[in-house]
Structures are given as structure tokens and as C-alpha cells.
């Protein structure tokens, strides 16, 4: 991995300190959801629907309640109807709380295999499971619909008689019984294709996939005598869980305290309340603390995966390589409730290229699967799988180098997006040039080996963050944010605090606060924490320095305007003898007005776009269709890499997940809508044996929206791999792949079709 | 959004903030306001407001200049 040179002016940013939570995590001291225990704790077990689509006729809990040791049972009837229909999640994103409440526990209908119908609290987990099995639920089983094309076809089973199609997009129209539609356009699509010398058109399908976080969902709830509930949980956003629990359980937000524990992966799947409202209601009914643990099977069956899709794509270019038209129709699974990532999938499909004539059509389609949720750059991997392959095909037909083809059309700073507004500073051309210059791009290949390149885009997010800094008398600093640490962000935030304060990073002690201890923050999502919470930290540090400068002025009996602060050194412009370093001044705060602390809540508006490219070499076994990954080089623009090793780790993790998506991972449902592979033996994520060392090249095009130039990095690495592998397979054996995952059977079928066509 | 503006891609409007622009547009394109505004000064769920290239946190209350460019875009969630 290359390491960017530490630019002049930075002392801490750009270095690779040891993470403060590392030792706790490798020694088992860190407290994850299942490590948490509390006196008098009961154990919950959730009863889930065995049907993918059914009406609940009745639920009889009497037998279960008679079992000794059973302390409480809840059903949908124990939950009120949410009084708040929508909850804002920043930047226009919203949760439909009626749907969220129905997703937590079914009221009248179940919409997917594994949908919750009841929950039990008992003295031990086995008893709770036994009691759950005694609950008698009568269903009227309905036919399920399991894929987008079937769900959009005339006569398809209808999931919801009415639904709110506006929950995720303003002009979305409910056009079909199970689908909403959005459309974006620019230019004149017919004119664009008329101008094209070369046109390619293909259809693509992708299967439902899970984020695959290793720690499942686990939480514990306890009430106190004042009617307040505390929930210890594994989550990407303590405040998001608080807000959802408060609304679903009809509680004032101030009566819900959510304490985030260490998190064993999230990737977008842990910003939603699944078991927390169940644990809270069970604990209330039992008047005892209750812990609920989701098994792996439950996690796969009933949390929010990333949608399966059907994409029809057509693109045209001139002979000189100029893209002139793109016409895409994308249908994404929404799951049992509306609001999958269709908007993001649609918008990211072509955003990184200048195409004058465009029509983008997106369908959000209800199917009898769990409610779809974000997964690292939600929707972008699927849409890039289609678009990047068509671009490769266009370049091939024109006879142009695929990187040169992309360079000719790449969006540059100030170019207008399909959304209309001009791109903020962006380094797409620099990134593609780096791909072209890398030795990997021209390295020799053998028979049945191929190389693919794909170029990915993600918007990133700003959203609200908070930070608090307190200066100790010895010059060390306590830092508290509400941003759950998924990837080492407590260190990248501490580094930014140290940089701003002019002190060593070891002198900043970072913690992740709970909802009663620190200001509001939205979730750790959208690759935003080092960027947005970093701005909150830097702004807070500036407040601290400002107050400390006032104290220095008091001590030196001069005006605060005379105090200069640089790299943690306070000086008096009018008296060279007056000089304090940070620690010396910290020692005097108690006697100059008391300790100094500051807090900031920010919502940054200037988010830096994320770009990534991947070079991947594969070898195809033409007898079995198995594809082996031989070599990977990932390129990413980090804006400013605060901790380059962490950036590389994010890139490697995202690429590894993308390779799993490309080759192996998929939900397998039978005709009745039962998930057949609800274990990690059968839901095949890649292991170290499947993935070679992923080399990482970090580029730095500063984001002017952050004081140090930071862009988010966590999501976009997952975007290019599926497309890059498909292109590599094409370059190895000459077939175009149109389905994810590209498992051996699919590749072998393509090889057979190719041989049959050649024979004919 | 073009369905709200008789197919026009770009329209001009007057106002000191986004809300006033929307109200001005609603006079020429009836229904524009109800498509954007949920209640009072709140943007409808699922919409982000972009002023001069920034997704603005004040939404309809964000001030605009004489030459400001305003866009209404779908909200995008991250993972």
C-alpha cells in the first residue's frame, strides 16, 4: 500500500497511531451485546412467522403463559399505533413509523418468512424458546410474491391494500399494486440514441444479499421506577434507536436511554430497531430486565438485506468515445414494506459521467422478503454492475481502451450532475489516470485469465453530529461523541481533536456517549463519521482554544485579542516572555475561572463525493465455471486520509464484501417464500482463502467542505467489485455476465451457451 | 419534477428564501407547493433541498440570492 506523504501543516492527521480500543477487543475486555449482563435479567425469545405472506387470524398464548418460569408474553396487540407517522433522519431521509412498528411485530398480516408475531420473556433462554413454541397462531396463508418482475405483473398477490409511496421520493407514484415509480431525465433520449454510432442494450438480475455482520443483533432493556427504560444494544446509531423505540412504544424520548455497546459490524444493517422495542415491552410487562439475542438464522431471515434487482439498460456512444445517451429502468426489491434504496441506486448509476441525454426510471417493488435496508453505498453496487459492463462493451465495440473511454466522459469539478447542480471538487480523472499508470494495469495474464476494471461513485452524507471536549488539569482531554465506532472512528476523531488543539493524540481520550450523556447525532452511516463528526470535533476544539486564550489573557492581564495560539502554544503578542504550552495553561484553568469544556452540534452541508476504482484479475475454470480472484488493486480518493491504515482497511473490507456479492452471496427462497440458506454455511461469504491481498492506492483530492479536506471512505469500495469481476470474466473467456452472484453454475451455463452458439 | 412545471427543466422565481420561491412558482404552476411543502415551513419527507450546490439543513427557510440555483432532489440514505 502506498502511504500519502504527510503534508506540511499536519502533525497528527495522516499518521497511523495504534487504536485505543484495539487491546480491549483482542483480549475480550470490550463489551459487546452478548457480554452485557445485569442482575435479575430474563431471556427473551421471538416467535416468527413460518409463512412469507399470511393474515393472522388469532394468537393464543395461554399454554405458553402456564409454563413455570415464563414471565411475560407480548404480541402486536401490546403496541400502540405510532402517533408520529414520520421520523426525519436528516437530508430528507425518513422512517415511516407505521411501517417500522409493523416490521418490529406484525399486527394483522405477516409479510415475510421470519416476521415477528410474538415474544416471550422467561427465566432462561431454553424456557423462553419452549414457551414460544407453545404459542398457537392461526394464519390464513396467502400466496407470496418473491421477485420484482412477478410482483409487477398483472394479477400478482398484493401485499398492502394501501401504502405510502411518498415516503422515500417526492413524486413517486404508485403505478402498480406492489410498486412505486420515479423518473429522472435530461436532454432528449431519442435524439441521443439517433446520434450514437454504437448502442448496447442488456438486461441484468441480481439476488438479495445480506450485510453479513459477524455480531448479530443483541440488546438488553431495563426499566426504572420513574418509568424510564435503558437499552444496551449493538447499533450504528444510539439516537436513531432511541427515537424509534420512543415512537413505537409511545414514550417520551427523554424516557428512553440507549447505551451503544461495541459493535461487531453493521454496514448499514444496524440503524434500525428490530428487537429493542420487543425487549423494552417484555421488560415492562415482566417488571424485570430482559435480554434478547437474535440467532444467525433470525438475522438472515428477518433483518434488512440489500435488494435483489432487475435492470434493463441501454447506452449509446459516438465513434470517438463520447457518451451520448443512457436509458435505464431499474426495479429494486423493497421487501415487505416500501422504501428500498431505489433512489440512490438510480441516481448513482451514471453519476460520474457526463451524458447529455438520459432517462432513468426506478421502481420500488414490494415482495415477500424482509424490509430492505442500506448496505454500504445502498443500491449502487447493483446499478454499477449493469452500467460499468455496458461501458466496457461500448469501449470494446469502439476499439478504445476502457480507462481512456471513461476518462473521455468522466465528470469533473463543476460539471452538472443528472440532478442538475454542479459537481463539487472531485478527482475522477486523477483516479482513472492512477489506474492507467499502475503496473497492475498492463501486467501479463495467462490463458483463461482476465482483467476487469470498474469505476464507482457514491454521494456520501453529512447529517447531524455532536462532540464534547473537556480539558483536564494535566492537559489531557476527554472527548465524547455520539457517533458509534464501527471502524476506528474514535481514533480518527481523536486525531482531529489533537490536530486542532495542538496536542498529542495520546492526550485525547475518546469515548462514545449514550443518549443521556452527549448531544444529538444521527447514525454512523453514509461514510460520514470521520467527515461530519470530525467537523464537530474541530469546531469544539476551536471553542476550547478560544476560552483558553481568554484565560491566558486573564493571567497575563492583557486583552484576549493579544493572545496568539499556534500548535498548542499560547503567546502574548505584546510580551514575548509570556508563553504557555497547552499543558501549562491547562494546569492554571482551575484558578482562572474553572475547568474548560465545550460542545458543538453541526450539520455539514458540503459533502465530498466518493470515488473508487478496482482492477481485478480472475481465472476461470472452464470445466466447472469456478472463478478465482488472482489479484486486486483498489484505488480510492480519500480527500485527506486521516489515518491511512484505517482507510486501507475500509477499502479492503469493502472490496472483500463486493467480491462475495460478485461470486457467492445470495438469498435462496423456495416457492413458498421460505429462506433456505439461513446460516453462514449456506450463505457463502468469502473467507481469507477466497480473497488475495488487496492492494490499496489512496489518492487525495481535498474536500473543501472539511477543514482538513476529508471525504468519507467507508462505502464506495464495495461498488466496483461486482462489475469489475464480470468484466474480468468476459476478458478471460469472452462471455458477458448478466446475473449476480456469478457462481460456478451461472458461469458454466454461459460457457455452454457460448459453445452452442459457436457450434451453430 | 418537470411534470409540475409543464415540462420546463429550468424555471425562474423570485423570493428571499426557498419557501418564497416555492410560493412564487406555485402561482405560475399550481400544485408545485403541495408537491414540495408538507406543512408550514417543512419540506415533504424524502426531499432534500440544494441551494448553490449545497444540501441545506434549513430547507425552505434557507435564504437565496438573486442568482441562486435551487434544486429539489430525492433524499439518499447511506449504509
Segment A361-408, tens digit of pLDDT: 999 999 999 999 999 999 999 999 999 999 999 999 999 999 999 999
Record the cell numbers describing residue A481, joined without a space. Answer: 461523541
Nearest by CB to B44, from A166, A341, A378: name it: A166
The interface predicted TM-score (ipTM) is: 0.85
Q: pLDDT band at A167, cuts 50/70/90?
A: very low
A168 to B74: CB separation less than 8 angstroms, yes or no: yes
Q: Closest by alpha carbon to A59, among A138, A130, A141, A142?
A: A138
Q: Best of A88, A92, A607 to disrupt the B interface by mutation (most B CBs within 10 Å)?
A: A92
Nearest chain B alpha carbon to A87: B45
Which region among A348-362, A472-486, B29-43 has the lowest average model confidence (pLDDT)?
B29-43
Q: What is the pTM of this model?
A: 0.95
Q: Closest by alpha carbon to A453, among A311, A628, A203, A632?
A: A632
List, for residues A697-745, the tens digit of each pLDDT value. 999 999 999 999 999 999 999 999 999 999 999 999 999 999 999 999 9
CA–CA min distance B63, chain A (Å): 14
List, for residues A275-309, the tens digit of each pLDDT value. 999 999 999 999 999 999 999 999 999 999 999 99
A91 to B73: CB separation less than 8 angstroms, yes or no: no
CA–CA min distance A349, chain B (Å): 13
- Kindly report the length of chain A: 760
Runs of H (alpha helix) within A287-427: 296-302, 342-350, 380-398, 402-409
State how far the Cα of A60 lies from the Cα of A45, in Å rounded to an integer.
Answer: 16
State how far the Cα of A339 lies from the Cα of A163, in Å rounded to an integer.
Answer: 10
B76 to A91: CB separation less than 8 angstroms, yes or no: yes
CA–CA min distance A591, chain B (Å): 40
Nearest chain B alpha carbon to A184: B1
CA–CA min distance B37, chain A (Å): 10
Q: Closest by alpha carbon to A260, among A600, A571, A31, A507?
A: A31
State how far the Cα of B66 lies from the Cα of B15, in Å rounded to an integer.
Answer: 8
**Average pLDDT value over all residues in chain A:** 95
pLDDT of residue A171: 40
Nearest by CB to A525, from B56, B57, B78: name it: B78
Paired residues of A186 in beta bridges: A358
Q: pLDDT band at A89, cuts 50/70/90?
A: low
List, for residues A20-33, the tens digit of each pLDDT value. 999 999 999 999 99
> Taking CB atoms and an 8 Å cutoff, what residues of chain A touch B71?
419-421
Q: How far is CA A262 from CA A475, A479, A495, in A?
A: 28, 17, 20
Q: Closest by alpha carbon to A41, among A31, A51, A33, A49?
A: A33
Task: Determine contact, residues A547/A536, Cβ cutoff 8 Å.
Answer: no
Nearest chain B alpha carbon to A164: B45
Nearest chain A alpha carbon to B79: A268
Task: Determine contact, residues A105/A111, Cβ cutoff 8 Å.
Answer: no
A91 to B75: CB separation less than 8 angstroms, yes or no: yes
With DSSP H G I counted as helix, E B as strand and the rest as coil, what are the percentages for chain A, rounded to 5?
30, 25, 45
B77 to A86: CB separation less than 8 angstroms, yes or no: no
Record the cell numbers describing residue A690, joined without a space. Answer: 477466497
> Taking CB atoms and an 8 Å cutoff, what residues of chain A touch B47?
92, 170
Q: How far is CA A44 from CA A48, A231, A241, in A?
A: 13, 14, 19
A171 to B76: CB separation less than 8 angstroms, yes or no: no
Q: How far is CA A210 from CA A155, A307, A366, in A?
A: 29, 9, 18
Task: Determine contact, residues A202/A386, Cβ cutoff 8 Å.
Answer: yes
> Taking CB atoms and an 8 Å cutoff, what residues of chain B touch A525?
77-79
Q: Classify A483 as helix, strand or coil.
A: coil
Q: Best of B3, B29, B35, B77 to disrupt the A interface by mutation (most A CBs within 10 Å)?
A: B77
Nearest chain A alpha carbon to B35: A170
List, for residues A177-210, the tens digit of each pLDDT value. 899 888 888 999 999 999 999 999 999 999 999 9
Task: Determine contact, residues A496/A708, Cβ cutoff 8 Å.
Answer: yes
Q: pLDDT band at B47, cuts 50/70/90?
A: confident
Burial A174-210 (b: 16+ CB within 10 A, else e): bebbbbbbbbbebbebeebbebbebbbeeebbbbbbb
Whose cell is 443521556? That residue is A516
> Taking CB atoms and an 8 Å cutoff, what residues of chain A touch B56?
605
- Please name each of the domains of chain A with its CATH number: 379-460+607-759 (3.30.365.10), 465-602 (3.30.365.10)
Q: Classify A683 as helix, strand or coil.
A: coil
B79 to A525: CB separation less than 8 angstroms, yes or no: yes
> Taking CB atoms and an 8 Å cutoff, what residues of chain B touch A605?
54-57
CA–CA min distance A133, chain B (Å): 35
CA–CA min distance A323, chain B (Å): 21
Sheet of strand A449-458: strand arrangement: A449-458, A610-620, A627-637, A694-699
A715 to B74: CB separation less than 8 angstroms, yes or no: no
Record the cell numbers describing residue A294, joined without a space. Answer: 437474535
Which residues are within 8 A (CB) of A172 and not within 5 positions of it... i.e. 6 or more apart?
Answer: A165, A166, A180, A181, A182, A364, B46
> Taking CB atoms and an 8 Å cutoff, what residues of chain B touch A462?
55
Amino acid at each position: 500500500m502506498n502511504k500519502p506523504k504527510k503534508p506540511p501543516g499536519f502533525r497528527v492527521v495522516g499518521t497511523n497511531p495504534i487504536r485505543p480500543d484495539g487491546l480491549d477487543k483482542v483480549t475480550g475486555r470490550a463489551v459487546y451485546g452478548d457480554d452485557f449482563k445485569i442482575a435479575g435479567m430474563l431471556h427473551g425469545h421471538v416467535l416468527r412467522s413460518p409463512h412469507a405472506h399470511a393474515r393472522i387470524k388469532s394468537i393464543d398464548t395461554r399454554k405458553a403463559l402456564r409454563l413455570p418460569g415464563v414471565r411475560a408474553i407480548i404480541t402486536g396487540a401490546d403496541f400502540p399505533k405510532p402517533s408520529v407517522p414520520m421520523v426525519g433522519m436528516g437530508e430528507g431521509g425518513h422512517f415511516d413509523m407505521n411501517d417500522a412498528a409493523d416490521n418490529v411485530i406484525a399486527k394483522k398480516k405477516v409479510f415475510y418468512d421470519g416476521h415477528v408475531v410474538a415474544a416471550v420473556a422467561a427465566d432462561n433462554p431454553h424456557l423462553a424458546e419452549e414457551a414460544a413454541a407453545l404459542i398457537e397462531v392461526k394464519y390464513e396463508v396467502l400466496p407470496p410474491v418473491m421477485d420484482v418482475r412477478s410482483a409487477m405483473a398483472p394479477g400478482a398477490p398484493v401485499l398492502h391494500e394501501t401504502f405510502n409511496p411518498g415516503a422515500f421520493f417526492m413524486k413517486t407514484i404508485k403505478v402498480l399494486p406492489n410498486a412505486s415509480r420515479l423518473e429522472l431525465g435530461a436532454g432528449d433520449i431519442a435524439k441521443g440514441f439517433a446520434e450514437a454510432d454504437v448502442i448496447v442494450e442488456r438486461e441484468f438480475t441480481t439476488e438479495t444479499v445480506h450485510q453479513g455482520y459477524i455480531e448479530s443483533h443483541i440488546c438488553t432493556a431495563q426499566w426504572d421506577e420513574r418509568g424510564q427504560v435503558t437499552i444496551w444494544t449493538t447499533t450504528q446509531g444510539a439516537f436513531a434507536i432511541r427515537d424509534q423505540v420512543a415512537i413505537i412504544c409511545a414514550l417520551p424520548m427523554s424516557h428512553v436511554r440507549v447505551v451503544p455497546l461495541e459493535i461487531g459490524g453493521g454496514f448499514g444493517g444496524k440503524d434500525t430497531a428490530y428487537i429493542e422495542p420487543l425487549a423494552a415491552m417484555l421488560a415492562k410487562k415482566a417488571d424485570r430486565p430482559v435480554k434478547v439475542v437474535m440467532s444467525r438464522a433470525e438475522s438472515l431471515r428477518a433483518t434488512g438485506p440489500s435488494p435483489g434487482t432487475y435492470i434493463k439498460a441501454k447506452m449509446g456512444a459516438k465513434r470517438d468515445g463520447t457518451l451520448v445517451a443512457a436509458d435505464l429502468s431499474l426495479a429494486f426489491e423493497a421487501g415487505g414494506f416500501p422504501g428500498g434504496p431505489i433512489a440512490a441506486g438510480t441516481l448513482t448509476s451514471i453519476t460520474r459521467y457526463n451524458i447529455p441525454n438520459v432517462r432513468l426510471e426506478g421502481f420500488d417493488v414490494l415482495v415477500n422478503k424482509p424490509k430492505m435496508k442500506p448496505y454500504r453505498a445502498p443500491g449502487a453496487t447493483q446499478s454499477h454492475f449493469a452500467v460499468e459492463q455496458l461501458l466496457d462493451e461500448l469501449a470494446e465495440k469502439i476499439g478504445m481502451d476502457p480507462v481512456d473511454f471513461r476518462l473521455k466522459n468522466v465528470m469533473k469539478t463543476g460539471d452538472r450532475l443528472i440532478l442538475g447542480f454542479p459537481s463539487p471538487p472531485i478527482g475522477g480523472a486523477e483516479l482513472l489516470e492512477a489506474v492507467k499508470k499502475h503496473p497492475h494495469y498492463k501486467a501479463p495474464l495467462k490463458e483463461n485469465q482476465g482483467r476487469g476494471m470498474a469505476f464507482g461513485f457514491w454521494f456520501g452524507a453529512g447529517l447531524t453530529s455532536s462532540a464534547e471536549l473537556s480539558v483536564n488539569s494535566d492537559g489531557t482531554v476527554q472527548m465524547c461523541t455520539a457517533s458509534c465506532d464501527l471502524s476506528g472512528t474514535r481514533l480518527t476523531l481523536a486525531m482531529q481533536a489533537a490536530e486542532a488543539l495542538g496536542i498529542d493524540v495520546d492526550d485525547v481520550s475518546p469515548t462514545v456517549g449514550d443518549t443521556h450523556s452527549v448531544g444529538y447525532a444521527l447514525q454512523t452511516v453514509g461514510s460520514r463519521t470521520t467527515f461530519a463528526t470530525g467537523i464537530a470535533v474541530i469546531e469544539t476544539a476551536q471553542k476550547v482554544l478560544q476560552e483558553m486564550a481568554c484565560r491566558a489573557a486573564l493571567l497575563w492581564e492583557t486583552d484576549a485579542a493579544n493572545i496568539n495560539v499556534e500548535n498548542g502554544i499560547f503567546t502574548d503578542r505584546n510580551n514575548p516572555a509570556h508563553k504557555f504550552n497547552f499543558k501549562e495553561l491547562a494546569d492554571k484553568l482551575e484558578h482562572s475561572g474553572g475547568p474548560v469544556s465545550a460542545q458543538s452540534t453541526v450539520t455539514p452541508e458540503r459533502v465530498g463525493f466518493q470515488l473508487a476504482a478496482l482492477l481485478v484479475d480472475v481465472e476461470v475454470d472452464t470445466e466447472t465455471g469456478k472463478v478465482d480472484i488472482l489479484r486486486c488493486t483498489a484505488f480510492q480518493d480519500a480527500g485527506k486520509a486521516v489515518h491511512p491504515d484505517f482507510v486501507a482497511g475500509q477499502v479492503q473490507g469493502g472490496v472483500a464484501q463486493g467480491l462475495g456479492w460478485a461470486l457467492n452471496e445470495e438469498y435462496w427462497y423456495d416457492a413458498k417464500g421460505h429462506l433456505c440458506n439461513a446460516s453462514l454455511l449456506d450463505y457463502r461469504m468469502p473467507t481469507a482463502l477466497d480473497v488475495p491481498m488487496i492492494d490499496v492506492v489512496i489518492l487525495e483530492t481535498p474536500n473543501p467542505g472539511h477543514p482538513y479536506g476529508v471525504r468519507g471512505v467507508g462505502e464506495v469500495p464495495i461498488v466496483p467489485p461486482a462489475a469489475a469481476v464480470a468484466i474480468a470474466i468476459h476478458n478471460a473467456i469472452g462471455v458477458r455476465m448478466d446475473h449476480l452472484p456469478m457462481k460456478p453454475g451461472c458461469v458454466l451455463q454461459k460457457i455452454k451457451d457460448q459453445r452452442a452458439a459457436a457450434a451453430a | 419534477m418537470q411534470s409540475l412545471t409543464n415540462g420546463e427543466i429550468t424555471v425562474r422565481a423570485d423570493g428571499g428564501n426557498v419557501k418564497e420561491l416555492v410560493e412564487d412558482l406555485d402561482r405560475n404552476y399550481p400544485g408545485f407547493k403541495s408537491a414540495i411543502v408538507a406543512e408550514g415551513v417543512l419540506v415533504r419527507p424524502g426531499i432534500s433541498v440544494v441551494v448553490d450546490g449545497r444540501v441545506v439543513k434549513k430547507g425552505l427557510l434557507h435564504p437565496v440570492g438573486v442568482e441562486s440555483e435551487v434544486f429539489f432532489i430525492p433524499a439518499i440514505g447511506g449504509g
